Amino acid sequence: MGDGKTTAPSGPLVAGFHARNALPHLKREGASYFVTFRLAGTLPAELITRLKTERQAILAHALAAKRPLTWPEQEELFRWYARRVDAHLDAGHGDCFLAQPQIAGLVAGALRHFHEDRHELGAWVIMPNHVHVLVRPRPGWTLSAVLHSWKSYTATQANRLLGRAGRPFWQKESYDHLVRDDQDHARCHRYIEDNPVTARLCDRPEAWRWSSAHRG
């Protein structure tokens, strides 16, 4: 798996706000994050366009009222965006390569491989077309570097197994939420491990094989 480590990383990738494409990303050094990344092509373009249009309308209304949204308000707006996206993903749209045990096992192994080295891995779940993770980067590692390591390695290996080398495997953009306190951490943990039940893939969290809740 790729290195990607930087020496004493600094800047907005460690602490503060930065933006990529549609989503803002709030970082705090030493913090934990709730992260979602999904397979490429799992959301129809018209859905993404509609959600972005609705979001832009809210932002434009705030600007017209001469009261631009604060960053916490914008972060809540993007959480709304993420919930809408998750509901579509849970319906199983698009490619579901992660439903294949060999591919899911590959991703699970990558998530756990550098636990307590590059990152501290909390709750995690691999759904048929997306992944949720609670993770805290270790000193010397940014969240971006950890995600790049996971996604680049698994994309190469999964495409090789699927006989589709050179094609996009993961959607480029990931969603991440800064975990603010213990209550927020517990909420994210529960959301992650309950996801297979919410999506009606099993009747209890511990029954889902590709999850930190699995017992068996």
- When pLDDT is cut at 50, 70 and 90, the band that residue 1 belongs to is low
Q: Is residue 109 part of a domain?
A: yes
* pLDDT higher than 50, residue 20: no
* Residues 47, 195: Cα–Cα separation, whole Å: 21
Q: Is residue 58 part of a domain?
A: no
Q: Is residue 64 part of a domain?
A: no
- Number of H-type helices and E-type strands within the chain: 5, 6
Count of structural domains, the chain: 1
* pLDDT higher than 70, residue 53: yes
Instruction: Tell me whether strands 119-126 and 23-27 are parallel, antiparallel or unpaired.
Output: unpaired
- B/e letters for 25-42, b = 16+ CB within 10 Å, e = fewer, are bbbeeeebbbbbbbbbeb
What mean pLDDT do residues 29-52 have?
84
DSSP state of 99: G
Residue 146: phi and psi, rounded to 5, are -65, -45
Q: Is residue 70 part of a domain?
A: no
Whole-model pTM: value is 0.77
**% of the chain surpassing 90 pLDDT:** 52
Closest-CA residue to 90 (of 207, 206, 191): 191
Looking at the DSSP assignment, which residues form a beta bridge with residue 6?
A: none
Residue-wise pLDDT for 161-187, tens only, equals 999 988 999 998 888 888 888 988 999
* Domain carrying residue 107: 16-43+95-207
Q: Is residue 65 part of a domain?
A: no
pLDDT of residue 17: 41
Q: Which amino acid is at 23?
A: L
Q: Is residue 72 part of a domain?
A: no
Question: In the chain, which ranges are continuous DSSP H helix?
Answer: 45-64, 71-90, 101-113, 143-162, 182-198
Q: Is residue 214 part of a domain?
A: no
How many other CB atoms sit within 10 Å of the CB of residue 112? 12
Residue 3: phi and psi, rounded to 5, are -80, -80
Q: Is residue 131 part of a domain?
A: yes
Task: State which H helix or E strand residue 136 sits in.
Answer: strand 130-137
What distance lies between CA 93 and its chain's CA centroid?
17
Mean pLDDT of the chain, nearest integer: 83
Residue-wise pLDDT for 63-113, tens only, equals 777 776 676 776 677 677 777 878 888 888 788 999 999 999 999 999 999
Instruction: Tell me whether strands 119-126 and 130-137 are parallel, antiparallel or unpaired.
Output: antiparallel
Burial class (CB within 10 angstroms; exposed 0-12, middle 13-18, buried 19+) of 156: middle
CATH of the domain at 37: 3.30.70.1290
- When pLDDT is cut at 50, 70 and 90, the band that residue 130 belongs to is very high
* Residues 3, 113: Cα–Cα separation, whole Å: 13
> Which two structure tokens, joined as six digits, stand for 63?
């600007």
DSSP state of 98: G
Task: State which H helix or E strand residue 35 sits in.
Answer: strand 33-38
